[in-house]
Amino acid sequence: MRRLWLLLAVPIVALDQWVKWWAAENLLPKLYVSSQLHFAQPFLPGVNLTYTSNTGAAFSLLGGGAARWFLVVVSALAAAAIILTVCKGWVTRPFGVISLSCVLGGALGNLIDRVWQGYVVDMFEFTFVKFAVFNVADIFISAGGACLVLFLLLDVRKKGPHAHLDENGR
């Protein structure tokens, strides 16, 4: 059953890719004079829809040519580690597996962009605070990661500090 939860990554990837396609089609003007790819439209109070192409990681860190393949390898290794973790049964509870599936879906969504385009399309920008422009994949990576930390903290507390010991204290 826990392996089936990994399939949650599929609609996450599909949603992420569709929103990125929509952003490219609707937020990026067909003809533009500026060489900077940064175009914004109001979306919700405090949030703009802003097309940006990010060659780096979060906050455009590690941007540039060689970083692309480094980030591809890191994303692929993270995805493989998540799949291995679930398939080996190292995380079996639904909340933990769902959290990992969210991170997996986000990682795969950004991985697809980096491999095929060389950059990740971002579109959500807060207007009330200076923060990175982000995408659907980033939301699932962040939310899934936060839920995973919560799961691990609660799971350790539930099992107790000596849960790994058998009845003989070993």
Q: Which residues are catalytic?
A: 122, 138
Q: What is the CA radius of gyration of the chain?
A: 19
Spatial contact of 110 and 138, defined as CB atoms under 8 Å apart: yes
**Beta-carbon contacts of residue 60 (< 8 Å; ≥ 6 apart):** 54, 132
Spatial contact of 120 and 110, defined as CB atoms under 8 Å apart: yes
Q: Which two tokens stand for residue 8?
A: 């949650």
